[in-house]
Amino acid sequence: MATPMQRVSPAPTKRAVRFEFQAPPTAQRVALVGDFNVWNHWSHMMRKNPSGLWEATVELAPGRYQYKFLVNDSQWVTDPKAQAKASNQYGTDNSVIEVK
């Protein structure tokens, strides 16, 4: 006896999202940390370009994500160019990006 075929939804298409951050001149290291990488400090290290801007590109599926920049492993900074902000459990704000 044949069973009916199940329709499987395709996985959402990820897209490259570029993050940029103008860190203080004392920055030696900047990490992009958020719920898309389980707030892992080592997962998305940013690179300083020749003009001094820190940047990273991340493949993200459509959705809403919270994130921050971590400067020199100690200073959590929201993105001044973020689309929105959301309060977190530490009494500060996270930056928010909506990927469509």
Instruction: Specify the CATH number for the domain of residue 25.
Output: 2.60.40.10
- Contacts for 3 with CB less than 8 Å, ≥ 6 apart: none
Residue 99 reports pLDDT greater than 70: yes
pLDDT value of position 76: 97
Residue 2 placed within a domain: no
Tokens 């370009």, residue located: 49
Residue 9 placed within a domain: no
Name the domain count of the chain.
1
pLDDT value of position 59: 97
E-strand stretches of the chain:
15-21, 30-34, 47-48, 54-60, 63-71, 75-77, 84-87, 93-99
Residue 40 placed within a domain: yes
Q: Tens of pLDDT along 61-81?
A: 999 999 999 999 999 999 999
Residue 10 placed within a domain: no
Backbone angles phi, psi at 97, to 5 degrees: -130, 140
Please give the residue range of the domain that contains residue 58.
15-99
pLDDT value of position 95: 98
Q: Tens of pLDDT along 14-49?
A: 999 999 999 999 999 999 999 999 999 999 999 999
State the Cα–Cα distance between residues 30 and 9, nearest whole angstrom.
37
